[in-house]
Structure 1
């Protein structure tokens, strides 16, 4: 009996994971990986940090070579080889050797498409000028760094404010360049809800990044040797008519990526509703003996069960391992994703998992929303506040998603919340988690505990929450709502919610007669805890519809300044 022949197309995270897991399961299979580039198994997420200098040597991001894989796993990785066609009936592929131009055929028993993604290049004049770069491979990062250093570049324009755009903006600023970020949408990190992504906008501007929102690049100008400027148009364009030119010694196009599905289309594999290849839970496509893994393949969302596509290295490694196992008789299956992610933006960690408020509402959930502002550890040991926005289903109490932003401790909390969502936790379950406590690492009631307590009170108890956006929408619609500031006079003097009355908590019982118990009432403090205490006082005094402002005045001010 002939040995199983596995052919993998693509050799970054997913492709090499397929090969490594398949080899761990069997010594008899023949495994060949074709890669049209020259680099394999590299850390794409680390590329901006080489550009910025946090990573000194590009070799640190490319720790594996074809020779290493051959010695370790007996896997043949052939770089500089482009798979240009697939014959699913004959189970053969056509491969072009890019060094010689020769094309040859190879046979397979099982074919795995790990073709990844390609950067989206804005279709504007001048995008092909020297000095305009995308960021996808180590070669891209090396070329950007060399361009900056060789030419003494002092100004950069980054087009797009997603993960790569934000990382590049931070790293270029750290190099001392003046940075302009141009984003077509209303906020940076637009995958988050606007009331959270606005905090990312503020952090960029706090570090002197020239952020142009709701603004599009209309062209790139320069000489035949180099790009020298970018023309933009939109509300933040900067000119009298919203159009302007921005100087640039280097331009980074980071507007997104698209899955490389050409081979999948050619072989007849079904493309899913997300635009990536549709697969089952082990990576099989609709074509027999053809699999797809990593960024080129769809996943499904753990909360909604619907197809989703979130190209992340963590998912790519996971799906590659699962397919390699299934091809060689294993029992692993993909269990779905939450799109959990985190990115550093200067002094803030920006993270999310599960559904945003907008996504949850679009999916038909009746949502309860909490903005929880708490320090990651006691302030006497340097604790700094983070904001956690958590979204839950009012009908079931199930936690649906969370977003978190803060200087430290964000990664720990988002991972705990992702775990809770994965296992279907009710918000009440969060309070009962036995989390590690020491004042050097956490508070006695962790921000995760507080998140559960407040949402549980809002859903299962008598402490409903109202977001700044909902309060303003209802007031603008003409609803009469009395808003009560229960803070001290000193705090109120700093900033306040417009249209609120001042009844400090220690006077609230005696002065409650100044309020109309028949009206909808909203209490607030700085962050939410004292507002909840005021809410309880009024509820116990017979006020039937009393809300606590989610995140208190701090969240109100962040929202209104967005």
Structure 2
């Protein structure tokens, strides 16, 4: 059996290694048009920022490793330029010489990845305007930045003293993963950074209120954020600096520009081969990663996959799913019955010592498919026991089915413990767990690491309380003419108040029930929801129609007016 794999990096390289472990006798040819067959493209922003110092640290495995350890005919600088599915041949072009040869196959695996989106904006090809997709991309950005740094240092030496230097400016176009990671790393390189995002929020997979939290956090760390505005053009000044002009008329100076508008599946070869392209623009595959041609498989960023929660077709450009798809394709090629379960889009991003992470469905994705069988809760548990030094709150949003309690999705932002909790919830979603399962989950506990009621347990308890009717919830964006009852202490009201809310501290509530209306819904407010829960239980059992404003005052920042 002869297998040709087009593309390395995560999908192609993993497929080649797995296939060799399963089949010692297969002839495996892997071609990669770039100079590196397997590199950590997720680490590129951190290499630009100097966190990953050496370029070599980004290289996972080279051509020699694949030849020597795996007996794979690995060819870098070799581009697949055509596919003939009838003859079962691939046309390969040597990038250096331009020579084209035909290579036959029994099975073909397409792992071409996705290309950076670079729309035809005037000036996008000017010097100093970069994308971040490959190791050479990162090298060019570093060289550009260091050339400017060297110039300033040379001026110091020439003048004999350190000059007062103007702050260097960077503009990042796009508020997704790469854009925000580049923004953080450019701040570390002492740039004044502006992020421009055409949509009305950052990090599109998050719900809007959590995207706004990310925006606020970036601005706290000195990043200028512009949402709801796009780039109209790039232009160059006499001193070679750049000006970024936006559609709304802003003009932003820039010494370097990063265009991070996302990626588009590479489907050229698939189209040549007559393969079916899905509704989202990626290569259509089944759950064994087989395309519409049974002899051709496809994996990674170029393919469409099923969303595990909503069932929608989706494009997920993540290394984890790409690796799993590659292993499944290799298993099927080797004769095993393997299937891809779909993806939840589980993701995390570091931002100035904090993290934002998510898994499963968002509220907007549920609305998009017309699914209204869900509820949400907001909670703010500590990352570990509050009495142990260093505990940090985690802002969590959890989505679950109202009909059966099945966990649907979660989002979290915080400075500690975010990765662990979203990782736990991601596994729970994949196993079809309910919020009742989260209540009972037995998780690691010691004061430096968690609490007796871990945030995951806490999320399950809150959500289960909602479903059992013990804790009806409302939200700041619910609308309606409800009576607002604030059960915080007066000293807390000196810091922030809710217009129109009546304050009865929790300790006085039972003796002042006659001050509350019995003909209106009462929404109960405290700082995070815990005291409001106690108050709601009291009110319910005394005949009032009461609910907890989920997340309390900590969630009010998501919706400034009730």
Question: Shorter-chain TM-score: which interval?
Answer: over 0.9
Deviation, 1:273, is 1.4
Deviation, 1:305, is 2.6
1:426-458 deviations in whole A, cap 9, x for unaligned?
A: 111111001111001001111111111111111
1:154-174 deviations in whole A, cap 9, x for unaligned?
A: 211000010000100000001
Any conservation in 2 of the 1:162–1:190 contact (CA below 8 Å)? yes
2:215 is aligned with 1:248: no
Q: Which residue of 2 aligns with 1:183?
A: 197
2:44 is aligned with 1:38: no
2:185 is aligned with 1:171: yes
Any conservation in 2 of the 1:158–1:181 contact (CA below 8 Å)? yes
Any conservation in 2 of the 1:349–1:410 contact (CA below 8 Å)? yes
Deviation, 1:378, is 2.1
Give the aligned length.
Answer: 543
In 2 relative to 1, CA 77–427 (structure 1 residues): closer, same or farther, beyond 3 Å? same
1:224-272 deviations in whole A, cap 9, x for unaligned?
A: 99451101133xxxxxxxx121010000000110000011111111111
Pick one of 48, 51, 74 that aligns with 1:51: 48
Deviation, 1:335, is 1.2
Q: Distance in 1 between matches of 2:239 and 2:320?
A: 39
Pick one of 79, 87, 109 that aligns with 2:76: 79
Q: Aligned runs of 1:82-101 on 2, under 5 Å? A: 82-101=79-98
Deviation, 1:134, is 0.4
Any conservation in 2 of the 1:360–1:400 contact (CA below 8 Å)? no
Q: Which residue of 2 aligns with 1:414?
A: 422
1:260-296 deviations in whole A, cap 9, x for unaligned?
A: 0011111111111121111111110001301100111
2:301 is aligned with 1:295: yes
For residue 493 of structure 2, give the secondary structure of its aligned residue in structure 1: helix
2:524 is aligned with 1:523: yes
Deviation, 1:112, is 0.5
Any conservation in 1 of the 2:241–2:253 contact (CA below 8 Å)? no
Any conservation in 1 of the 2:170–2:194 contact (CA below 8 Å)? yes
The gaps in structure 1 that reach 5 residues or longer are 235-242
Pick one of 212, 219, 231 that aligns with 1:198: 212
Q: Aligned runs of 1:49-448 on 2, under 5 Å? A: 49-152=46-149, 154-222=168-236, 226=240, 228-234=242-248, 243-363=249-369, 364-380=371-387, 381-448=389-456
Q: Distance in 2 between matches of 1:20 and 1:524?
A: 56
Q: Distance in 2 between matches of 1:27 and 1:500?
A: 72
Q: Which residue of 1 aligns with 2:541?
A: 540
TM-score (normalised: structure 1): 0.95
Deviation, 1:360, is 1.8
Deviation, 1:384, is 0.5
Deviation, 1:557, is 2.5
For residue 379 of structure 1, give the secondary structure of its aligned residue in structure 2: coil
Deviation, 1:517, is 1.3
The gaps in structure 2 that reach 5 residues or longer are 150-166
Q: Distance in 2 between matches of 1:351 and 1:502?
A: 35
What stretches of structure 1 move > 3 A for 4+ residues in a row? 223-227
Q: Distance in 1 between matches of 2:511 and 2:247?
A: 57
Any conservation in 2 of the 1:371–1:387 contact (CA below 8 Å)? yes
Any conservation in 1 of the 2:237–2:243 contact (CA below 8 Å)? no
Q: Distance in 1 between matches of 2:45 and 2:232?
A: 25
1:368-417 deviations in whole A, cap 9, x for unaligned?
A: 11011111012332101011100111112111000000001000000111
